[in-house]
Copies of this chain bind each other. A is one copy, B any other.
């Protein structure tokens, strides 16, 4: 049977289509909106009128260069209509990004994290206040004297998040069975969208990165752990509990290094940033972060290069399972992994050749994300945008 949808849900869906069309095509003519969204003219016109009234969209005169006849009106998401806030909570750091409603980055901020939950929430709150206070949208006729109102907050966390938004297990933070969403909402005083960090980053890759319009891809990322996001048939696949994509806990060395999850030989005990730093330290190289690891390896430090080679080999081995099992057309490498991508990719490819079936890896595209360390915070922005667009009304007073 086809799912039954009510008209409010259809209105939200149509409004979301128009919003994304305007976001992806700033300065778009109203008459092009029907073509871009597949909606009829009356529907797009009604939605645009409401968005203009709510101050979400602004009209500017389009450049008349190649146009003859009456001037065309160009529509854009209003830069001063509001802010979105995205954040990544990690054991060691909290990273915050603010953007316009259209997802254009205004401020970045990185502060110390904590594995103590109330300390972490307190620091997040103060960090968001600081980032928001500094956020000024590009001057476009608006005043710019104060920061626009926050219209949505989204947070990505390294852990298993169930369908209800409960953090079931976050080994690296040491949190378990935590009602993280209500805790965040209480701490921040407004609705907050929460998701697993990698799933959030995969959504950012689809909305803002390399995978715009791509229906099937696998997103792999490494921070304190290693995660995977499976975009299958145009949707993020979540599985029966919501935990799909736990590539970081695929066993790559049976009986190998102990993992915070309680198992042994998990991929992330060889490939995450802390794992790589621990392994270089075991070889007498105490390095502060992956960037320094990359510098040392490029400078010819064989021991460091060896650790990265092993990381690439193990990541390629785990990826070979994903290739054999899901036959992806595109794999995107993001997060801190992109810092060392050039050094690990040759070893990853060799492992893929050894362990993935040739017809499945033959024309596999493997790309490095351009989002860098902002992938998860931008995932928070994607979540915040989704939350904002799912509200009954988009008017400021209705938030």
Binding site for B on A (CB under 8 A): 1-2, 37-38, 160, 168-169, 216, 228, 230, 232-233, 235, 237-247, 249-251, 254, 261-264, 317, 320-322, 324-330, 354-355, 357-360
Contacts and interface: CB of A to CB of B under 8 A. Distances in A.
A244 B327 contact: yes
Given A232-B232, A261-B358, A326-B326, 15 more contacts: A1-B37, A168-B359, A233-B233, A239-B328, A241-B327, A241-B329, A246-B325, A247-B325, A250-B321, A250-B325, A251-B355, A254-B355, A263-B354, A264-B354, A325-B326
Contact of A328 (B240, B246, B261, B358): B240
Give the residue among A242, A254, A322, A326 with the most B Cβ atoms within 10 A.
Answer: A326
A37 B244 CA distance: 32
Nearest to A313: B254
A75 to B, nearest CB: 19
Nearest to A168: B359
A325 B232 CA distance: 13
Contacts of A242: 327
B325 A241 contact: no
A331 to B, nearest CB: 11
A237 B326 contact: yes
A137 to B, nearest CB: 30
Nearest to A237: B232
Nearest to A177: B359
B244 A325 contact: yes
Give the residue among A38, A254, A317, A325 with the most B Cβ atoms within 10 A.
Answer: A325
Given A251-B355, A325-B322, A38 B233 contact: no
A14 B188 CA distance: 50
A9 to B, nearest CB: 14
Contacts of A329: 239-241
A134 to B, nearest CB: 39
A325 B230 contact: yes
25 contacts: A1-B38, A2-B38, A160-B357, A169-B357, A228-B325, A232-B237, A233-B235, A238-B327, A239-B328, A240-B327, A241-B359, A241-B360, A242-B327, A244-B326, A246-B324, A246-B327, A247-B324, A250-B324, A251-B317, A251-B320, A251-B321, A251-B355, A254-B317, A261-B358, A326-B326
A160 B360 CA distance: 9
Contacts of A235: 233
Given A233-B233, A233-B235, A245 B359 contact: no
Given A216-B239, A263-B355, A358-B262, A325 B327 contact: no
Nearest to A171: B357
Contacts of A261: 357-358
Give the residue among A2, A264, A327, A329 with the most B Cβ atoms within 10 A.
Answer: A327
Contacts of A354: 251, 254, 263-264
Give the residue among A230, A321, A324, A359 with the most B Cβ atoms within 10 A.
Answer: A324
A124 B325 CA distance: 30
Contacts of A249: 324, 357
Contacts of A328: 239-240
Contacts of A2: 38
